[in-house]
């Protein structure tokens, strides 16, 4: 659980969904189903509880409210795409002139394994550069999991308010998602590699190659 997450142990509601949509998708045009998938996954991953709604998913209600407020629009409702603009601080306009999708496209340096889900490792170049200057071979890396597209998952976490784009050092495709993430993170914790001062529990002082070695030692023949 992320102790710093404001909505930990709270069921997903339209208000919470709206906050997550703005955080994760500002400046992007995204399929509604992807928004639902990522919002659900992010809320649960951070320690939240599933939605209790029986009829309309909280994301559906959040998007409807946001459209009325000018915080989202779907010019062609039939295609399922929603655009989440950047609201200016004075609230009197939108800025949709952000970085183009071509400039923010991410890719994985290495993808291994097979399966429908993924465990991923990403880091910021400054961390690696500092480690190299200090003669070290490990640096802060985030190890997470997703049942959906790993590159989209990383992009949704890191696209705003950051000084540089992340490097996705490794994607491990798997059908044993929870077991693999828990095993890899657990081994690194036992080795004292968890970054204690990071927000959340998924940052480790490691490297993509080291994570791959842990994977090969435990799942390489499976």
More confident residue, 4 or 105: 4
- DSSP summary character for residue 85: -
C-alpha pair distances (Å), 14 with each of 82, 120, 150: 16, 29, 25
Amino acid 202: pLDDT: 87
More confident residue, 69 or 113: 113
Q: Which of 55-59, 92-96, 154-158 has the highest mean pLDDT?
A: 55-59
SS3 of residue 63 by DSSP: helix
Quick one: tokens of 20? 């997550």
What is the pTM assigned to this prediction? 0.60
Quick one: tokens of 42? 């992010």
Residue 122: pLDDT above 50? yes
- DSSP summary character for residue 113: E
Residue 199: pLDDT above 70? no
Least confident window among 126-130, 147-151, 176-180: 147-151
Least confident window among 85-94, 156-165, 176-185: 85-94
Residue 97: pLDDT above 70? no
Least confident window among 58-67, 87-96, 150-159: 87-96
Rounded distance between C-alpha atoms, residue 83 and residue 25, angstroms: 8
* Other beta carbons within 10 Å of 33: 11
SS3 of residue 141 by DSSP: strand
For 108-123, letters b (16+ CB in 10 Å) and e give beebebeeebbbbbbb
Least confident window among 47-51, 61-65, 84-88, 100-104: 100-104
| pLDDT band, residue 214 (cuts 50/70/90) | very high
Using the structure block, give the residue that is written with the tokens 């495709």. 173
C-alpha pair distances (Å), 158 with each of 60, 168, 188: 24, 11, 23
């Amino acid at each position: 659980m992320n102790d710093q997450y404001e909505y930990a142990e709270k069921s997903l509601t339209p208000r919470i969904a709206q906050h997550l949509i703005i955080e994760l998708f500002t400046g992007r045009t995204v399929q509604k189903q992807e928004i639902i998938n990522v919002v659900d996954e992010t809320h649960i991953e951070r320690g939240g509880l599933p939605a209790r709604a029986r009829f309309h998913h909280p994301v559906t209600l959040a998007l409807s409210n946001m459209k009325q407020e000018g915080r989202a629009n779907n010019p062609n409702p039939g295609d399922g795409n929603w655009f989440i603009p950047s609201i200016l601080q004075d609230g009197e306009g939108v800025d949709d002139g952000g970085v183009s999708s071509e400039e923010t496209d991410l890719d994985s340096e290495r993808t291994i394994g097979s399966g429908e889900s993924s465990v991923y490792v990403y880091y910021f170049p400054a961390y690696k550069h500092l480690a190299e200057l200090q003669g070290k071979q490990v640096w802060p890396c985030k190890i997470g999991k997703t049942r959906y597209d790993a590159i989209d998952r990383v992009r949704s976490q890191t696209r705003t308010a950051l000084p540089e784009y992340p490097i996705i050092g490794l994607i491990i495709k798997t059908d044993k998602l929870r077991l693999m993430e828990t095993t890899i993170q657990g081994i690194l914790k036992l080795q004292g590699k968890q970054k204690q001062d990071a927000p959340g529990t998924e940052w480790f002082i490691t490297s993509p190659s080291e994570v791959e070695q842990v994977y090969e030692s435990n799942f390489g023949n499976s």
